[in-house]
Amino acid sequence: MNPELYPLGLRIAGRLVVVLGGGPVAARRTRSLVLAGAHVRVVAPEICEDLAALVAPLPDGAARPDGSGAAGTVAWEARSYRSGDLEGAWLVHTATGSPEVDADVAAEAEALRVFCVSAGDASGTAWVPAVARVTVADDTTSATSAPSTEVVVAVNAGRDPRRAQRVRDAIDALLATGELPLRPVRPGAGGSGSVALVGGGPGDPGLVTARGRRLLAQAEVVVTDRLGPRALLDELADDVVVIDVGKTPGFHPVPQEEINALLVEHALAGRRVVRLKGGDPYVFGRGGEELIACEEHGIPVEVVPGVTSAVSVPAAVGIPVTHRGWSRGFTVLTGHEDIGKVPAASDHTVVLLMGVSRLRDSAAALMASGRSPETPVAVVEDGYGPRQRSTVGTLATIADVASAAGVRAPAVTVIGDVVRVSPAWRAAGLG
C-alpha cells in the first residue's frame, strides 16, 4: 500500500477542468469528465477525431456520440499550453506527449494548489483509477426504470494501470453477475417496491442469466420454487427473506393465489422481490398469472427469461429436440394434457414435462393417435442434478422400462427419432 495515496471521489459537475493535449488519452479523460458533468477546457494545437466529436456543437437536447447528454461541456482552444491556462480550474489533466510540457503544467498546478493528473505520472499529484460501475435500483425505483443509485469501485495498483485494469475487470464481472453483494442496506424512503420474475433454468446455478443473478443480489425477498437453482439461496445475506413455495407432484402447499398475494404484499411494502422459478417463467411456470396480479396493483414487474428444462434437460444427456433429417419441430406439453392431439408425424418431437405418473397413459394416447409403437422415448430424470439419468425405450415399452428402473420426478420425457442421437440409446443397443 502506498501511504501517500488517499483514495477520494470528486464531484465535479458544473466545475472547470482543464485538459492539456489532444490525443486518445486526452479524449478518454474528457469523455469521463463530460459524463460527470464537468465544464472541460481542452488546450491543444490539434485534437483527434474522438475528442473532436466531444467538442462539436450540438443541437439543443441532442446526445453526444458516446451516449452522454449535454450536462458537461467541452471547449477547445487550438494552441499550445501557456502559463495562466489553469486559472480557475478545480482539476487538471495533462497528456501532451511532452514530458517537459507535462512537468511545466504540473508545476503550475502545484503553485495554484490544484490537483493534477499527468499521463506521464511522475510529476502528477492525482491518479485516475480503473473504474467498475453497476447501477442498482433503490427502494422506490422499479426494476425497469432508470436506477437512482450506482455502485462504483475504483482500483489503484501502485501506478501500474494494466494491473489495475485487470483487477477492475474481474470485479466488474462479479458485479455484473451478482456474485458480489449489491443490495442497499441504508433504510429507504418507503414507497412501492418491485417484482422480478426470474427464470432460474433447470437447477444448475451456472445456467441462470447474469441479469437474474444481479437481481437476486439486490433482492430483499425471494419467493422460490423447488426446481429453481436453490444453491444460489446460500449466497444471499442473512437478512433476505426467503419464502419456499415449492410444489411436488400432487402436493401444492401454497396455492398459486397465495403466491400471487405474497408477491403483492411484499412489493407494496416497498421491498424488492424476486420470484425465483425453475426453467422459464412463461413455460408452464404460471409467470403470466403472477405478472397480471402485480400489474393489477400497480407494481412494476420485470420478467427475466430462463433456460427452459424442455430444451436444456434433453440437451444435458445429448438429445437435441430438433435434428436435421429427423425432426423439424417440437411440441412441449405437460403430462396432464391431451397429448393425442399433437402431430403424429415422425419428424415432430414431443417433450413432456411433469409426466412421470401418467407415462403409460401418454404413450398409449400417442400410439392411438398414429405414432408407431417403435418410436424412441427417453425419460431424463433430475437434469443437471446429482442423480441425472436417462432411461430409454419405445412407446410400446417405456412405461414398463421406467417402472422397473424406478424412474421418479422431476423428469422430462422426449418422444421421437431424436432420441436415437443420445448415448443412452446407443448404449442400450436399441438400433
The residues annotated with a catalytic role in the active site are 225, 247
**Which runs of consecutive H residues, i.e. helices, occur in 285-358?**
287-295, 309-316
Per DSSP, the residues of 43-67 read E-SS--HHHHHHHS---TTPPPTTS
Of 97, 103, 85, which is closest to residue 43 (Cα–Cα)?
A: 85
CA–CA gap between residue 344 and residue 6 (Å, rounded): 72
Amino acid at 200: G
CA–CA gap between residue 216 and residue 240 (Å, rounded): 10
In the chain, what are the helix, strand and coil shares in percent, each to the nearest 5?
A: 30, 25, 45
Rounded to the nearest 10 degrees, how much is the dihedral formed by the CA atoms of 11, 16, 20, 24?
50
Of 274, 165, 20, 249, which is closest to residue 30 (Cα–Cα)?
A: 20
**Grid cell in block for residue 171:** 470485479
CA–CA gap between residue 382 and residue 406 (Å, rounded): 13
The kind and range of the H/E element at 352 are strand 348-353
CA–CA gap between residue 290 and residue 273 (Å, rounded): 12
* Residue carrying the nine cell digits 425505483: 141
Quick one: DSSP state of residue 329?
Answer: E
CB contact set of 141 (below 8 Å; sequence gap of 6+): 147, 148, 194
The kind and range of the H/E element at 367 are helix 359-368
**Which runs of consecutive H residues, i.e. helices, occur in 210-355?**
210-218, 256-268, 287-295, 309-316
* Residue carrying the nine cell digits 408407431: 372
Which neighbouring-strand residues pair with 77? Answer: 43
Of 346, 349, 415, which is closest to residue 379 (Cα–Cα)?
A: 415
Amino acid at 377: V
**Grid cell in block for residue 406:** 424406478
Quick one: DSSP state of residue 22?
Answer: -
